[in-house]
Amino acid sequence: MRLVLLFIAFTTPAWGDIRVVDDLGREVRLSAPAQRILTLAPHATEMILAIGAEKNLVAVAQFFGYPPSLDQVPRINTLGGLDREYLLETSPDLVIAWASGNRQADLLWLEQAGIPVFMSEPNSLADIASSLEKLGRLAGKPETGRRAAEVFSQGLDKACPDNASGTMEMTYFEIWATPPMTIGGKHWLNEILQRAGLQNVFAHVPRQVFTLNPESLMAKKISVIITSQPEASRPIKVAHIYRASPELGRPGPRLVEGLRDLCAQM
């Protein structure tokens, strides 16, 4: 019996409390690695895939671009209010939520229900890499999480080798055509543009996303438009229009693919 107990002691990880700080500065604490993870945003699901913890997913935010390995994982509609009864039935021991993308009432309910919640709200590319490491720790895969963060950072460095020393062309990132909606200087996409040799023409605006009037757009000297919108009648003419892939719009590890695609068009 003593030999059996010694074998268990040496082969069972002594996890103890696992503590990380999420993107809102909140401490997330688990008594053991998360075995039942639920995601409320596509980029959060992609982070779990990147750290190799997809087998721990009990439900994921509804999205059309997941790999076949998630075909059997239930989808959650996050566009309206959450189906709270169904969420409780999945018995998650960790929820990864999108602080600005999910309804605040639902996020408050999750906390009141006593379910550990990691709030994802990256403000920079470094925050995305850090989240991969933290989620790796929460899922009991610290080494995989660190490696995923390294792969992400290295991928960004290699995505645009020909544009690293290019001129910073003034760029309008079009989120919506009518009314015009774009990004300000506090959005993480500014770092993506800089890596492609581009400069956000509205970087001086201390906002993440905002709507502007057409006159403000016409007053700017713009060389490049990046958009995922269909062809539209715009009040400005530019030298280049590049298409933004879906990966470019999500603050997750697949941003590398989005950046690579953008630079391939230039």
Tokens of 151: 């792969």
Q: What is residue 167's three-state secondary structure?
A: coil
- Whether 164 is covered by a domain: the verdict is no
Per-residue pLDDT at 164:
54
For residue 245, tell me if it sits in a domain. Answer: yes
- CATH number, domain of 150, equals 3.40.50.1980
Does residue 142 sit in the same domain as residue 175? no
Alpha-carbon separation of residue 123 from 9, 22, 187, 251, 261 (angstroms): 42, 12, 6, 9, 22
C-alpha span between 121 and 131 (Å, rounded): 10
pLDDT of residue 16: 64
CB contact set of 39 (below 8 Å; sequence gap of 6+): 45, 48, 57, 59, 60, 61, 95, 96
In order of 9, 16, 176, the CA distances from 12 in angstroms are 6, 12, 52
Residue ranges with strand state E in 82-179: 94-98, 117-120, 169-174
Domain range holding 117?
2-158
Based on the domain organization, do 43 and 111 belong to the same domain? yes
118 and 203 assigned to the same domain? no
How far lies 10's CA from each of 4, 61, 206, 266, in Å? 10, 38, 53, 55
pLDDT reported for residue 9: 40
pLDDT mean by block of 10 residues, the chain; 266 residues: 41 67 97 98 98 98 94 94 94 96 95 96 96 98 98 96 74 92 96 96 96 91 92 80 94 97 94
pLDDT at site 231: 74
Instruction: Count the neighbouring beta carbons within 10 Å of the beta carbon of residue 43.
Output: 24
Which of residues 158, 192, 223 is at a domain's end?
158
Position 72, amino acid = Q
Residues 97 and 140 in one domain: yes
Residue-level pLDDT at 163: 67
Q: Are both 139 and 203 inside the same structural domain?
A: no
> Would 21 be classed as within a structural domain?
yes
Q: Are residues 23 and 127 in the same domain?
A: yes
**Of 158, 184, 206, which marks where a domain is finished?**
158
Residue 163 lies in a domain: no
Q: Are residues 153 and 176 in the same domain?
A: no
100 and 197 share a domain?
A: no
pLDDT at 167: 73
- Residues 196, 115, single domain; the answer is no
DSSP 113: T
CA atoms within 13 A on the CB side of 235: 14
Q: How many domains does the chain have?
A: 2
Single-letter amino acid code for the residue at 100: S
**227 inside domain:** yes
Verify that 34 and 150 share a domain, yes or no.
Answer: yes
